[in-house]
Amino acid sequence: MSPDLIGFIGYAADAAAMTVLALLLATSWRGRLQGGLLLLAVAISVLWAGLLAIQAQWHMAPVQMIWAAEAARMVAWCLFLLRVLDQLRQGLADRLRLLRWGVLVGGLLLLLPFEDWLPALVPAGGGWLAKVRLIGQLLLTVSGLFLVEQVYRNTPWQHRWGIKFLCFGLGAVFVYDFYFFADALLFGRLDTGVWLARGGVNAVVTPLLAVSVARNPQWSFDLAVSRSVVVHSTALMAAGVYLLFMALAGYYIRAYGGEWSAVFQPLFFFGAAVVLIVLLFSGQLRSRLKHFISKHFYSYRYDYREEWLRLISVLSGKELQATLPERIILALAELVDSPGGAVWVRDPDGNCVFRRCWNLPLAELDVRWEGSDVCAALQPGGEVIELAEPAPAASLSGTLPGWLLANENLWLLVPLMHETSALGFVVLARPRAPQQLGWENIQLLQTAARQAASYLALEEAAAALAEARQFEGFNRLSAFVVHDLKNLVAQLSLVSRNAERYRDNPAFVDDALQTVRDSVDRMNRLLLQMRAATPTGKQGRVALLPLLDRAVSERAVQSPVPSLRVADGVAPEVCVDAERLQAVLRNVIQNAQDATDKQGRVTVTLREDGDMAVVEIEDDGCGMDEEFIRERLFRPFDSTKGLAGMGIGAYECKALVALAGGCVDVDSEPGAGTRFSIRLPQSAAPVEQPLAAVI
């Protein structure tokens, strides 16, 4: 590739970049003087770059036109900088009035082709007349450098992020031009290599000018460059530079590697390709690149339109097919480049329990911890808590557990606020790239968390509505059952009325027995459907041991036969509906038997734990996983027995125990069995009703 072709490519690239910038400026110009001067400077730069591209390749542009373009370009940029100074500080432009007139007059003189007629007017000028144009160009270049320095120095430090790329870009161009013209003035000739490289130099600084212009809306220009485009372009450019260096290194190995080059060259290229692939798919490197670009090239860290659309896409399930708690974790984590997190959600009983985690090992979490105190202490404003701080929040003092504060991998606690209450909170892991938590992060997280909480509230409302509809269907089923019971009562009443008259008739006896047998079968079928329904009853103080003994005795008809163990001296009394509790105990024991082989073991234990009476039903059956216990075990009408069960037994157990002021704990592992613990507060008063009335 010849030097002329390289120069042509550089000037053509600069002309193309400046043309795009000029078109964007022209479409958004609102008639302001500052925007007009900027558009004029960019347009003249386009003509200058195009003219020099033609000269570099074909050498057919008139010399006078080239010098006029050089002067016009420099004057246009100086006038724009003078206007920027006028806007920065009042009165500064008056002190630079002499410089303004000098730039205008000097520029107009340099536009003229005085090389042809000046020697005739000043014959004594000698060799200096040939260098007048170079001196004029040098003076304009120095004026430009002075104006760039004044713009940067007079801009308040809080606003220098808006003009620093303009100053860096134009300053670099003026310095290069100063070197070019000073070298020409000193040695009496233009350096061809430096001249051909000017196009590439100007093309490189054009993106800096565009970024600076985009940061200053008062210049009547709104340039919106997508962050994703910048990130991908930067990654692509870095990959290209990397491949270029690897190609040069491979060429060096081939040229100087000797007899081993045939082996080393493919090995080197393979290793370089693997390294490039690893770097391109590195989440930490991508996070650092995004953070660097947002910090240094944009006035705001986030593209809020893009972030909001992505948030809605994730929460609605379009981007990720997962449960809503998992989608909430992912949506909030991506806002701060966090690799994962966990979510605690308030259940219908008001307890804030662990629901899901995303890309976070369960070993780092205490999934049994209830965050009800944290939810109650969260402020209505939804303050984001940084766990690494010595005192995360005064309102949460004493509510955060030690394992949460001591874990260095956990970073933020984001409340899920709905209206004025917290539906739960999300704990996020530390980001891939270290970053400071600024006001943009906090406000975006708070807004996104409120949107996520609204989705969570909607899901809970939908679940409650579905549950109500299921109960409605159950009530309709009850109406049919009552109708069947009325028929059965009518049949048995008829048998009862005729028994006195026909009891000596063998045919009547056989018919009556058959009627009773059919009625019993039908009632058993009805009871199988209705046994878990909530009966009416009153709470009373009862002894727990007789109830437990009766339930174990009734379930002894099925294998494995349950065994009862009672701690020494334990005879607790509880305040509960005895009939319902006995039905619940019987149902839990039956479930343990159904989940265990006939050769297995079912053990019922009664003990005391402080002021609580504890009933444990333990088996060595098939067991359950944590997800089933958390998501399905206590959900009404959700049964694993198919048509044989209605899925109300565990739900009724939890509801009855909660009504008595107790709780239900389940410890289970697939293949290792289950321990079902019912904890009831003991009653201090003695039993007031006989056991016969209870059972």
CB count, 10 Å around CB of 468?
10
3-class secondary-structure state, position 266: helix
3-class secondary-structure state, position 384: coil
pLDDT one-digit tens code per residue, 401-411: 888 888 888 88
pLDDT confidence bin for 505, thresholds 50/70/90? confident
Q: How far apart are the first and last CA of the chain?
A: 103
DSSP 430: P
Among 87-101, 202-216, 219-233, whose mean pLDDT is lowest? 219-233
Q: Look up residue 631 and give its two tokens.
A: 């998501």
DSSP 258: G
Pick 469 or 262 by higher pLDDT.
Answer: 469
- For helices 192-214 and 3-28, angle between their N-to-C axes, nearest 10 degrees: 20
- What homologous superfamily does CATH list for 3-224? Rhodopsin 7-helix transmembrane proteins (1.20.1070.10)
Closest CA relative to residue 438, chosen from 231, 288, 300: 300
Pick 652 or 298 by higher pLDDT.
Answer: 652
d(CA 585, CA 650): 10
CA 58 to chain centre: 56
Among 153-157, 290-294, 431-435, 492-496, whose mean pLDDT is lowest? 290-294
Question: What is the DSSP secondary-structure string of 127-156?
Answer: GGGGGHHHHHHHHHHHHHHHHHHHHHHHS-
pLDDT one-digit tens code per residue, 51-62: 999 999 888 888
Q: What's the fold here for domain 540-694?
A: Heat Shock Protein 90 (3.30.565)
Q: What value does the mean pLDDT take over residues 228-250?
A: 65
Mean pLDDT of the chain: 79
pLDDT one-digit tens code per residue, 7-48: 899 999 999 999 988 887 876 665 567 778 888 999 999 999
pLDDT one-digit tens code per residue, 118-176: 655 555 554 565 578 888 899 999 999 989 988 888 887 767 877 888 899 999 999 99
Ordered alpha helix ranges (H), 426-566: 439-502, 506-530, 544-554
Closest CA relative to residue 237, chosen from 293, 167, 303: 293
d(CA 254, CA 54): 39
Q: Is 80 exceeded by the pLDDT of residue 284?
A: no
Q: Is 60 exceeded by the pLDDT of residue 184?
A: yes
φ, ψ of residue 74 in degrees (nearest 5): -65, -40
Helix and strand counts by DSSP (H, E) for the chain: 23, 12
pLDDT one-digit tens code per residue, 588-600: 888 888 889 888 8
27: Cβ contacts below 8 Å, ≥ 6 apart: none
Among 34-38, 312-316, 491-495, whose mean pLDDT is lowest? 491-495
3-class secondary-structure state, position 347: coil
Q: Look up residue 629 and give its two tokens.
A: 């216990």
d(CA 213, CA 400): 48
* CATH number attached to the domain at 304-457: 3.30.450.40
Residue type, 219: W
d(CA 458, CA 464): 10
pLDDT of the residue at 687: 43
93: Cβ contacts below 8 Å, ≥ 6 apart: 82, 85, 86, 100
pLDDT confidence bin for 644, thresholds 50/70/90? very low
Q: Is 60 exceeded by the pLDDT of residue 695?
A: no
From the CA atom positions of the chain, what is the Rg in Å?
Answer: 42
φ, ψ of residue 575 in degrees (nearest 5): -105, 105
Say if CB 302 and CB 294 are below 8 A apart. yes
Among 12-21, 329-338, 444-453, 573-582, whose mean pLDDT is lowest? 573-582
pLDDT one-digit tens code per residue, 600-625: 899 999 998 888 899 999 998 888 88
Pick 543 or 92 by higher pLDDT.
Answer: 543
What percent of the chain shows pLDDT beyond 90?
Answer: 15
pLDDT of the residue at 482: 64
pLDDT one-digit tens code per residue, 364-402: 888 888 888 888 888 777 788 888 765 555 567 678 888
Q: Which residues of 287-312 are buried (b: 16+ CB within 10 A; e: fewer)?
A: bbbbbebbeebbeebbbeeebeeebe
Say if CB 409 and CB 430 are below 8 A apart. yes
